[in-house]
């Protein structure tokens, strides 16, 4: 008997047996039906295929609020995964640590500058708390009620989306320096929320198409004193392909801001127009700034 004949015979035999069983009242189930029936009697069996679980009904605590801040600034969620995109390893390490603290050990994949975790449950949990990539009302209420969390959330926003800008401009008789802090965001709802968080710590700001801007020297100093930037986080963006501080630390620039403020006060107390009154060129001004940066940061420029 050929293989084809054996197969045909087997098929006829199976059909005959199935017909006789059905006539006898015995119902044969498909594989899928059998699996569903087994799980209904043994629900613990299917849990071996679940990578991560969201426990406690997705409750809020400080580490979870900080993770949400990282996802809201430079992260993402989709139907099956979530992740964080940045060029700095220091921030990826912070992200991975928070994931571990909130959801337990996770297998984090890396694709270029993106850290990615596959989990439908976690992605749904984060998306629920970040509608349109802005904090939900529940998250905001939690942050409002915890001064420590509030400052740490603002620090994450500063590290990921923030910039300590110290720029050189031409004055009437010399070159001088302007300073500001920008917490960039193209998400209007999230920008408003950043403003609310700053207002809670008494920092004045204005909102522009770039995001939230802190202009006044007194307010920049207040922001630095309460929030500031983390050591090691560097300037990685350029404007029109240029940046005089590319590769320098944001933390180092905030220290440079403090040095500039001190030098301005000292110069004016001595009757001078300011500490850059003798800077006749942009190059001289930049050289002075970089010398001061090195001085307040242990002698290194970046």
The per-residue pLDDT of the chain, averaged, comes to: 87
List the single range of 127-141, 159-173, 234-248 with lowest mean pLDDT.
234-248
Stretch 214-230: mean pLDDT, rounded?
98
pLDDT at 183: 97
Average pLDDT of span 157-169: 96
Both tokens of 218, joined, read 């007194």
Query: Hey, do 56-133 and 154-296 end up sharing a CATH topology, with the first three levels equal?
Result: yes
Q: Are 220 and 214 in contact (CB under 8 A)?
A: yes
Give the pLDDT of residue 299: 73
Which residue from 49, 286, 268 is spatially nearest to 176, judged by alpha carbons? 286
Q: Domain spans of the chain?
A: 3-49, 56-133, 154-296
CATH match of 56-133 with 3.30.70.250: no
Residue 106: predicted pLDDT: 84
pTM listed for this prediction: 0.80
CATH classification for the domain delimited by 154-296, as one of 3.10.28, 3.40.50, 1.10.10, 2.60.120 = 3.10.28
Compute the distance between CA of residue 181 and CA of residue 286 in angstroms, rounded to an integer.
Answer: 19
Strand partners, 184: 211
In 136-257, at which residue ranges do the beta strands (DSSP E only) sit? 162-170, 175-184, 206-208, 211-214
How far from chain centre, in Å, is Cα 52? 21
- pLDDT of 135 reads 98
The pLDDT of residue 29:
62
pLDDT in tens, 74-111: 999 999 999 999 999 999 999 999 999 999 988 899 99
Mean pLDDT, range 42-65, rounded to an integer = 65
């Amino acid at each position: 008997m050929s293989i084809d004949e054996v197969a045909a015979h087997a098929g006829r035999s199976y059909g005959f047996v199935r017909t006789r069983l059905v006539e006898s009242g015995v119902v044969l189930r498909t594989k899928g039906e059998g699996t569903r029936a087994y799980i209904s009697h043994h629900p613990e069996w299917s849990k071996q295929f679940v990578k991560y679980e969201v426990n406690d009904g997705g409750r809020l605590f400080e580490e979870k609020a900080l993770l949400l801040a990282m996802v809201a600034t430079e992260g993402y969620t989709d139907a099956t995964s979530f992740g964080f995109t940045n060029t700095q390893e220091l921030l990826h390490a912070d992200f991975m640590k928070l994931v571990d603290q909130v959801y337990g050990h996770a297998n984090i994949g890396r694709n270029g500058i993106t850290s990615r975790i596959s989990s439908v449950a976690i992605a749904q949990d984060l998306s629920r708390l970040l509608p349109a990539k802005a904090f939900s009302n529940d998250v905001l209420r939690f942050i409002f009620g915890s001064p420590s969390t509030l400052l740490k959330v603002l620090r994450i926003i500063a590290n990921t989306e923030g910039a300590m800008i110290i720029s050189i401009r031409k004055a009437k008789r010399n070159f001088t320096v302007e300073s500001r802090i920008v917490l960039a965001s193209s998400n209007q709802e999230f920008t408003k929320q950043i403003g609310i968080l700053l207002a809670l710590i008494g920092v004045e700001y204005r909102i522009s198409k770039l995001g939230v801007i802190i202009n006044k020297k007194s307010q920049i100093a207040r922001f630095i004193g309460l929030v500031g930037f983390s050591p090691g986080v560097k300037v990685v963006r350029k404007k029109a392909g240029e940046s005089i501080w590319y590769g320098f630390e944001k933390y180092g620039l905030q220290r440079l801001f403090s040095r500039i403020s001190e030098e301005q006060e000292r110069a004016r107390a001595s009757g001078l127009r300011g500490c850059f009154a003798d800077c006749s060129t942009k190059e001289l001004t930049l050289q002075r700034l970089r010398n001061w940066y090195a001085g307040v940061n242990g002698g290194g420029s970046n």
